[in-house]
Amino acid sequence: MIGQFIQTFFIYNYNFTEQTAGNPTVAVMIFIAMLLTGFGVYDRLAQFAGAGSAVPVTGFGNAIISAAIEHRSEGFILGVGGNMFKLAGSVIMSGVFAAFIVGLIKTLLIQWGAL
């Protein structure tokens, strides 16, 4: 609902169409999630919201930024750099792998003339 509000805001004020407004909307949502994480609010929100805050792209932002904050004390290179993707890494891996499988199935179906 908040996302829809922001999207409508972009469409009406900044000459975005319904198709192109998605990108800035997602960027703003991630930014909000990062701010909430930094202020220590997002984890409390998540205890209530569950999958509602973990599955969307905001949960992904939260996974990265929380790990980055956590390991700040171990230095920028090995601490932040090395641990930033410790939660998000598995999400990226799963996403890429799932896309690969789906792509493979689609290619095979086209080859066999089913599509």
Partner 1 sequence: MRTWEFEQQPVIVSTGTVGGPFEANGRLADDFDTLHGDLWLNEDTYEKAHKVLFEEASLRATEKAGLTKEQVDFFIGGDLINQITPTSFTAKTIGAGYFGLFGACSTSMEGLALSAFIINNGGAKCIVTGSASHNAAVEKQFRYPTEYGAQNPPTSQWTVTGAGASVVMAQGEGPVVTSATIGKVVDMGLTDPMNMGGAMAPAAVDTIETHFRDRNIDASHYDLIATGDLGHIGREVAFDLMKKHGTDIPEEKFQDCGLMIYREDQPVLAGASGAGCSAVVTYGHLLNRMKKGELRRILVVATGALLSPLTFQQGETIPCIAHAVSIEYGGGSL
59 binds partner 1 (CB under 8 A): yes
Paired tokens of 19: 């198709």
Q: Which of 35, 66, 80, 109 binds partner 1 (CB under 8 A)?
A: 66
Query: HSE on the CB side for 54, CA within 13 Å?
Result: 10
Residue 100 CA to residue 69 CA, distance in Å, equals 32
**Smallest distance, partner 1 to C-beta of residue 82, A:** 14
Q: Are 21 and 7 in contact (CB under 8 A)?
A: yes
**Smallest distance, partner 1 to C-beta of residue 42, A:** 5
25 binds partner 1 (CB under 8 A): no
Query: According to CB under 8 A, which residues from 38 to 57 bind partner 1?
Result: 38, 40, 42-43, 45-47, 49-51, 53-54
Q: Are 84 and 67 in contact (CB under 8 A)?
A: yes
Say which residues have a Cβ less than 8 Å from residue 14's Cβ, sequence separation at least 6.
24
Q: Residue 10 or residue 42: which is nearer to partner 1 going by CB?
A: 42
Which residues in this chain contact partner 1 in the complex, by CB under 8 A?
A: 37-38, 40, 42-43, 45-47, 49-51, 53-54, 59, 62-63, 65-67, 69-71, 73, 87
